[in-house]
Structure 1
């Protein structure tokens, strides 16, 4: 029985590997076609982002640890930190210049592009391609339809099409506010891999407060508000793929956020229960 279950898991993982590898190859061919044949040199930061995080992977693997999961987590932490800093910088700069009302105006979010926003989105898109490849190469996923691979698949599709058409760039920058929460997700992973799992530890308690707080505000609430904004301004979109693609992407993100929230709650309960059982 257990053997059959393991065989089924391997078969599912193999199916996921081939599907997501094929989509990643198609994505890479598409990007290089745009750069080389359509002379879309503005997409070069995307390639830079991919190699930046691939180089970071090499540095971690050679100087920190050869554990694929730890290396992947460290590079993900670097991405979350850099992306959060970029997004905060872009938004603060825009708020100082134009204020909240103009920042959230429909034409600004859909047709305009804030300074540095296009390059920041390209670099982040390059990271998602790198991370997808790293997870596929080292088998850092499980299940027939792994949520993490599906997450990257949705992001790569939405981000790349937006970059090709140069629309909704600012909307996507707003969605990247969730990387503030990702910082604490990755910090928790590194902390647990380092063997620090004591729920009584003050730093662990602070980390959990920041983890749950940024999940609720920077990820869950921000994505819900962006979805509401899209629905409210639906009539302002021109006919085309922009609105359906944006709604599809946000629906996928909100669904994944629900699953992530459940996982976080279960992890929190498990860690607290372990601490209570040790005390008794």
Structure 2
């Protein structure tokens, strides 16, 4: 299984790097012109999330054996889906490395290293593919995270589209991020005596890392998009501009959480 998995991973890496380069030839919306790279990077991430998130949900619906036997029970195409995701994270890590400083990107780069290490185990061994496919359900939430970020970059906050996206982000975060993470953590704990210790440590580290980042992200979105967006009594002299608003204490809040972006 390893040679074919590595071939798919390499092809995926090349395809996503090509998409990064191809988007440079397309015009960027004027409202996002201040940060063209971030716009392109988020668009590529959105393509990956749509592809792998929908693939994981459809695959688990058609082949529930993957959740019953996450180690051995999987169809051949499931390994392809996981390998495609590994290629994406390698391509995105390369893009981050070349376009941001280490201080800006270290958190995401550490996240990518952990995710690639975990998913690569399935690609190289041909085992734990079902477990990896379950983890790709998180990409359904990432789809809305990327849409939300594109709206922020486009200065579309506050707006109805942004509000709907924020609520969809929180809903899918609970359903397709926290629930799968909880299931995977419980399964790993129950099977800890039947799995090599190195894999238990690797899987546990990955789940803990993504879990903490997911909770922090959920709290941030809840506070910035929901709690602080409650209507306030008008204050004389306070003016709001598009992309900026004022909270009930008179503090100016800029809607740009561009440094807080989770890619799973």
> TM class by shorter-chain length?
0.7 to 0.9
Check whether the contact 1:122–1:163 (CA below 8 A) recurs between aligned residues. Answer: yes
Say if 1:184 and 1:274 are closer, same or farther in 2 by CA, change over 3 A.
farther
**Aligned mates of 1:217, 1:45 — CA distance in 2:** 29
Say if 1:191 and 1:274 are closer, same or farther in 2 by CA, change over 3 A.
farther
Flag structure 2 segments of 5+ consecutive residues without an equivalent: 235-239, 249-264
Of stretches 204-213 and 61-70 in structure 1, the one that deviates more from structure 2 is 61-70
TM-score (norm 2): 0.78
Aligned-residue CA RMSD in angstroms?
2.6
Following TM superposition, by how much is the alpha carbon of 1:270 offset from its aligned partner in structure 2, in angstroms?
A: 7.3
Q: Aligned residue for 1:211?
A: 169
Say if 1:250 and 1:40 are closer, same or farther in 2 by CA, change over 3 A.
same
Secondary structure of the 2:136 match is helix
1:61 aligns with 2:61: no
Following TM superposition, by how much is the alpha carbon of 1:90 offset from its aligned partner in structure 2, in angstroms?
A: 1.2
TM-score (norm 1): 0.74
Secondary structure of the 1:197 match is coil
Flag structure 1 segments of 5+ consecutive residues without an equivalent: 1-34, 96-101
Q: Aligned residue for 1:138?
A: 99
Match of 1:164 among 104, 124, 134: 124
**Aligned mates of 1:191, 1:244 — CA distance in 2:** 38
Following TM superposition, by how much is the alpha carbon of 1:254 offset from its aligned partner in structure 2, in angstroms?
A: 1.3
Q: Aligned residue for 2:257?
A: none
Instruction: Report the number of matched residues.
Output: 231
Q: Aligned residue for 1:119?
A: 80
Q: Aligned residue for 2:136?
A: 176
Flag as ranges the 4+ runs of structure 1 deviating above 6 A.
274-277
Q: Aligned residue for 2:253?
A: none
